[in-house]
Amino acid sequence: MSEPSEWQKRIAGEWHGRPSLFDAAGTWCGFEEIRRSSVFENGVTTYYMDGGLVGGGPLAGQFRLGAPFAFGVVDSDANRVYTGPDFFGTGQPYGSFVDSHYYGPGWQVDLNTWNQVLPDGETQVYSSVLYQGWSVVGCFNGLYTRTTDHADNPDTQARVAAYLAEETRRGPVPFILPTKQAGAFVGTCELWGADQKLRGSVDVRIELTPIDLLHTRRTLVLTGAIEHTAEVTARRDGNRHFYEGPQAWGNGIGFGRAVFGSLHLGGVTKIKSREVAIDAEPGMSAGGRLAIVYEFSEGNQLDSVLHGVVEWESA
């Protein structure tokens, strides 16, 4: 390939983050100090990842890096194929979001990684759910910021240092819906078909009416390129989340400020979701912005992918 793919252009440069590590139950375990870059040079794409683990508890021995990771990528906007030696698998781009499934011999886990570049083009929302067979063993997630001159620009270095301090503060914060303030997360998102073609825009509204400290009436309203309305009673039990009718049913688990959910809308329509509280802060505050990704399946077949950012509006 003489020119990089559109996704490769989106992720050019170096990305700096401090994603948090969680165990299978959603307990925060530590931070991963990471610098990532995907370099297209002479028609060849190579992905680099350098850093180390701070903390980690019982997972530390498995997820500390013994050396920087590097692996080849067959660059494409259809299928990005990861050719090893440090990761083997494939990822599918849907605009500014990629859903990747691959195996890491060094970490000894299968990974489902979701990378979402936000509309500013400079922020990436990242998560890797880690599997042993079909069982979840942990999760990395966090935000990254892009640089092109970090090595020799003191202003960029200061900006990245401040960004990493924010991620240190926000990473362990659990995802909790507003418990005494009604409102809605609202925004316009993109809908991509399973064929990786843009279908159009969708107005997203996630209406929240608190019932008590652990229960919230939650109504998802989608209008535009896809149309759905689903009201549920959302219940939280620690890091576990439950969506208990009357119009949809499912559950989820929180790894810090990110919740990974499964929602059955009735009939054959299902949503596999990730919602990330971008502006999470310690304490009792709620609201801010959510980065959302919803994968819609009809039966067991992927139909479409909805992703974008929604912002809090108080009632």
User: Is residue 286 scored above 90 in pLDDT?
Assistant: no
- Give the per-residue pLDDT at 68: 83
Quick: pLDDT tens for 178-192: 889 999 999 999 999
Quick check: do 6-170 and 183-314 share a fold? yes
Q: What is the enclosing helix (H) or strand (E) of 109? A: strand 109-117
Q: What is the C-alpha separation between 15 and 167, in angstroms, rounded?
A: 13
| Fold classification of 183-314 (topology level) | Lipocalin (2.40.128)
Peptide bond into 210 cis (omega under 30): no
User: Is residue 280 scored above 70 in pLDDT?
Assistant: yes
Q: What is the C-alpha separation between 107 and 126, in angstroms, rounded?
A: 18
CA 67 and chain centroid, separation: 25
Nearest-5° Cα angle at 229, 226 to 234 = 130
- Give the per-residue pLDDT at 1: 53
Coil vs helix vs strand at 155: helix
| Residue whose token pair is 């050019």 | 12
Coil vs helix vs strand at 175: coil
Please state the pTM of the whole predicted model: 0.95
For the chain, give every domain's residue range. Answer: 6-170, 183-314
Q: Given this structure, which CATH class describes domain 6-170?
A: mainly beta
Which of the 8 DSSP states describes residue 301?
E
Q: Report the mean per-residue pLDDT for the chain.
A: 94
**What percent of the chain is modeled with pLDDT above 70?**
98
Q: How confident is the model at residue 8 (pLDDT cuts 50, 70, 90)?
A: confident
Output b/e per residue, 145-168; b: 16+ Cβ within 10 A: bbbeebeeeeebeeebeebbeebe
Q: What is the C-alpha separation between 273 and 252, in angstroms, rounded?
A: 9
Helices (H), 64-145: none
User: Is residue 235 scored above 80 in pLDDT?
Assistant: yes
Q: What is the C-alpha separation between 129 and 147, in angstroms, rounded?
A: 26
- Give the per-residue pLDDT at 2: 67
Nearest-5° Cα angle at 209, 24 to 281 = 50
Query: What integer is the mean pLDDT of 69-87?
Result: 90
Quick: pLDDT tens for 242-275: 999 999 999 999 999 999 999 999 899 999 999 9
